[in-house]
């Protein structure tokens, strides 16, 4: 029983839900702004922006907020954001190599936080270039195998620019260059004539 007012209980529950939603939306908007700043405002030419907008739409971020974030990120209309994407390299326990990608508005604070997180967990921050040669940026798409054969997937995605198709759990993993991710993901098999 909530006393005399049922609204008192509802108000507190609603405040918690609204705070969580606001935090989630702020993070998604920040990702959209950064993606637009780094790759431009074109959704088809910027796969990072495309993914960020898709995630925001799934979380019910209003379209106006998404459009404003794209404009702010791309510098359209006078407003501009000042986020920087930084890549740190490090070693974890037993010499495991790490690439740590950060998005920040303060490079000094980010470096200190990454260094602290690594050292508290048995790792060290490495010099630039000492780990990065072990990694390459690729796009990975997981296709469920429901009603689809590996040949069907291969025919559809190889024409669109995919590099490799391999079994992955209950489906297939399609590996592609990061720049071709949107094109390969939207590929459909053309019917045989």
The enclosing domain of 52 has a CATH number of: 1.10.10.200
What are residue 104's DSSP bridge partners?
A: 84
Q: What is the pTM of this model?
A: 0.56
Domain that holds residue 162: 138-185
Which tokens go with 49? Answer: 């922006």
> φ, ψ for residue 90 (rounded to 5)?
-160, 175
Q: Is 36 in the same domain as 93?
A: no
Residue that terminates a domain, selected from 32, 56, 74: 74
pLDDT band, residue 181 (cuts 50/70/90): confident
Which tokens go with 179? Answer: 């720049």
1: in domain = no
Contact 177, 163 (CB under 8 A): yes
Higher pLDDT: 87 or 168? It is 87
79: in domain = no
Q: What is the pLDDT of residues 37-67, one digit of tens each?
A: 888 888 888 888 999 999 999 999 999 999 9
Of 100, 173, 186, 105, nearest in space to 141 by CA = 173
Q: Is 90 in the same domain as 50?
A: no
193: in domain = no
How many domains does the structure of the chain reveal?
A: 3
Distance, CA of 96 to CA of 189 (rounded, Å): 40
Q: Is 145 in the same domain as 169?
A: yes
- Ramachandran region of residue 65, left (φ > 0), alpha (ψ -120 to 50) or beta? alpha
């Amino acid at each position: 029983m909530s006393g005399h007012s049922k609204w008192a209980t509802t108000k507190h529950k609603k405040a918690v839900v609204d705070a969580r939603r606001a935090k989630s939306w702020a993070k998604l908007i920040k990702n959209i702004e950064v993606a637009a700043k780094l790759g431009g405002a074109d959704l088809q030419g910027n796969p990072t922006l495309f993914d960020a907008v898709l995630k925001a739409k799934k979380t019910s971020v209003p379209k106006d907020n998404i459009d404003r974030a794209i404009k702010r990120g791309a510098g359209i209309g006078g407003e501009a954001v000042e986020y920087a994407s930084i890549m740190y390299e490090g070693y974890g326990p037993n010499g495991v190599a790490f690439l740590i990608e950060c998005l920040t508005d303060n490079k000094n604070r980010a470096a200190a936080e990454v260094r602290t997180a690594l050292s508290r967990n048995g790792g060290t921050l490495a010099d630039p270039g000492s780990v990065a040669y072990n990694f390459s940026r690729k796009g990975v798409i997981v296709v469920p195998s429901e009603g689809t054969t590996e040949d069907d997937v291969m025919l559809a995605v190889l024409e669109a620019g995919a590099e490799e198709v391999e079994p992955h759990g209950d489906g297939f993993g399609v590996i592609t260059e990061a720049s071709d991710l949107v094109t390969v993901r939207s590929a459909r098999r053309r019917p045989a004539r």
